[in-house]
Amino acid sequence: MVIFLVLSIFISVLTFLFLLPWRNQNKYQLLPPGSAPLPFLGTPKYVSALCKYFPELHKKYGPVFTIWKLTDPMVVVCGYEAVKHALLDQGEEFSGRPFSPIVNLYSDGYMFPSVGGERWRQLRRFTIIFLRSFEMGKTSIERRIIDESKSLIGEFTATGGKPVNPINPLGCAVGNILISILLGRSFDYNDPKLQELILSTRTFLYDTHSRLYKLGDTFPILLKVPILKEKIMKRRSRLKSLTKKYIEEHSLSPAAPRDFIDYFQIKIKEEETIFGSHFTERSLLMTLIALFAAGIDTTTATLSFCLTLISHYPEVQAKVQQEIDEVTGWQRPPEMMDRAQMPYTNAVVHEMQRVMDLAPVAHYHAVTKETRFRGFTIPKGTTVIPFLSSVLSDPTQWETPEDFNPGHFLDEKGQFQLKPAFMAFSAGKRICAGEGLARMEIFLLFSALLQKFTFTLPPGTGRQDCRMLKQNKHKAILFSQVCAEPRAVSSTT
C-alpha cells in the first residue's frame, strides 16, 4: 500500500512537470508565434545557440517570435522596423531587464547595465552627466585620446613594419584612456597592472558566454553547490578584486576633482545622511566594474577588427588617407572638429562597425508591464531579445547589406549621413552609456593610425572579403596580424 502511494505521488509529480509548460503556454497564448516548447525543457536548441537560428526563425515566423527558456517565454524582435518599434516607439515599456541569478549574486543588484529600477536610473544618469561635463573640462576626453594616440603610434612604429597582432597595443591604449578618466592615472604599456586589467575585462565578458555560466543562470539551484558556485564566480571575481584595489589606492581630491572616483566619492559624502541613497562605496565598486567591462574590450575589439578589415581593402584605405592628408596634413593629428570635413573617413568607420556586428543581440530587455506589441500581448516581466544583427543587415535599410560599402553612409553629394538603422550601440533608453566615448575613441585612434601608417596583410596572407571576415569574426579580432608600414608622405601635405 505504501509503495503504491509513493509510486502514485511520483507519477503525479512527473505528470505535473510534464504538463506545466503546456499550462503556461495556454497562459501565454497571445504571445508571438514560435516553435512549440518541449515539456519542461522549452526550446533548448534555440536558446543555447541564439543567433544561429534567429534568421531561420525570422523567415518562418516574421519579425516577432517566441522561444522558450524552460517554461519561460523569450520574445525575439527582428528587423529595423520591429526593433525601432520596441526600443524607441515603446521604449519605456521595453526598458526593463530580466532577472539574472548570476548577476544578482555577483553584484547584489548594483551592476547597472544589467539591472533596472531607480538605482540603475540614478547611477546611469550620474555616469552620463559626468562624461559630458568631463568632456568640457580643462583636460578633455578628446585631448586624452589624442595624447594616448601618440603612444599607440609609437608602439606600431616599434614593430618596424613586421606582422603584429593589433589587439595588444590597441587594448593598452583604450585601457589607458578609460583608466585616466575613471582613476586619474595611466600606465606604461608593459606594466603588469595594465595587462592584468585588460585580461580581466576580456575574461569577464567571455565568461558570460561559457556553458557553465549559462547553466548557472538557467538553473539557479546550481549556485547553491559550493564547488560550482566558486568555479562560476572565481574568474569574474578577478576584476572585482582588482577594481577594489584601485579604489583603495585612490586619494580623494574634493577641492579639485580629477576623475570619476573623485566625483563619485564627493556624491557619496553629499548623500551620506540620506536614507537609502544609491551612492555608496558598494555602488562605486560595481559601477566601475561595469564601465571597465563595457568600455575596454568592446572598443579594443572594434578597432582590432577595423585594422584587419581595412588591410583587406587597400583602395578604401587609400581614399581615407587622402582625405586625412587634405584636411589635417601630416603633422597635426585628426580632431573631432575635423570629422565634418572627413565624410568618407566617418562613413568608413561606421560601415566597419556595421559589418563587424560586434553585439548580434543587445543586452536582454524585459517589458515593465503587460504590453501590446504588433498585435500580440507580452506579459509583464517577459524577456525580450532585440536581434541587432537583423537591423544592421536589414535589406530594406541597406542597399548591399552583405558587402562592405562605405556608400551606405554617404548621400548623393558625398556627405556623411547617419542612418537610423545604425544600432551598433543598441537604441532607446538602454543604449550604451559610453556610446559617445566609444565613438570618439574609434574615430580618433583609427584616423590617427591611418595618418601615419598603411596597414597591409602579412606576406602570404590571402585577401578576404568582409563576409569571410565577419564569419570568422572571433579569429579576426583576437588572432589576425597586420603590418603597419610607415607612410611616405610628400612635403606638400
Question: Average pLDDT of 136-149?
Answer: 81
Least confident of 271-275, 401-405, 464-468: 464-468
Who's near 305: CB < 8 A, 6+ residues apart? 352, 356, 358, 469, 473, 476, 477
Model pTM? 0.90
Angstrom distance (rounded) from CA 423 to CA 388: 7
Q: What is the pLDDT of residue 108?
A: 65
Angstrom distance (rounded) from CA 78 to CA 395: 12
Question: Average pLDDT of 310-319?
Answer: 97
End-to-end, the C-alpha distance of the chain in Å comes to 97
Q: What is the pLDDT of residues 249-287, one digit of tens each?
A: 998 888 888 899 999 999 999 998 888 888 999 999 999
Q: What is the pLDDT of residues 35-93, one digit of tens each?
A: 999 988 899 888 877 788 999 999 999 999 999 999 999 999 999 999 999 999 999 99
Q: C-alpha grid cell for residue 129?
A: 552627466
Q: What is the pLDDT of residue 10?
A: 47
Asked whether 246 and 292 are in contact (CB, 8 A), the reply is no
Closest CA to 27 of 69, 73, 64, 74: 73
Q: C-alpha grid cell for residue 45?
A: 536548441
| Domains of the chain, earliest start first | 109-357+393-486 (1.10.630.10)
Who's near 212: CB < 8 A, 6+ residues apart? 228, 231, 232
Query: Per-residue b/e over 175-214, b at no fewer than 16 CB within 10 Å?
Result: bbbbbbbbbbebbebeeeebbebbebbbebbebeeeeebe
Asked whether 220 and 93 are in contact (CB, 8 A), the reply is no
Asked whether 64 and 82 are in contact (CB, 8 A), the reply is yes
Q: What is the pLDDT of residue 20?
A: 52
Q: C-alpha grid cell for residue 32?
A: 508571438
In order of 103, 225, 228, the CA distances from 231 in angstroms are 15, 10, 5
Phi, psi dihedrals of residue 424, rounded to the nearest 5°: -65, -25
Cell 575635423, located at residue: 338
Q: What is the pLDDT of residue 319?
A: 98
Give the type of residue at 232: I
SS3 329: coil
Q: What is the pLDDT of residue 47?
A: 84
Angstrom distance (rounded) from CA 100 to CA 232: 14
Within 10 angstroms of residue 412's Cβ, the number of other Cβ atoms is: 6
For 194-249, list the strands marked E by DSSP: none
Within 10 angstroms of residue 488's Cβ, the number of other Cβ atoms is: 6
Q: What is the pLDDT of residues 343-379, one digit of tens each?
A: 999 999 999 999 999 989 988 999 999 999 999 999 9
C-alpha 46, offset from chain centre: 22
Angstrom distance (rounded) from CA 435 to CA 362: 14
135 pLDDT tier (thresholds 50, 70, 90): low
Higher-pLDDT residue of 10 and 122 is 122
Q: What is the pLDDT of residue 489?
A: 64
Give the type of residue at 251: S
Q: What is the DSSP letter of 365?
A: E
Instruction: Output the CA torsion 26→28→30→32 (10° steps).
Output: -120
Least confident of 20-29, 91-100, 264-273, 396-405: 20-29
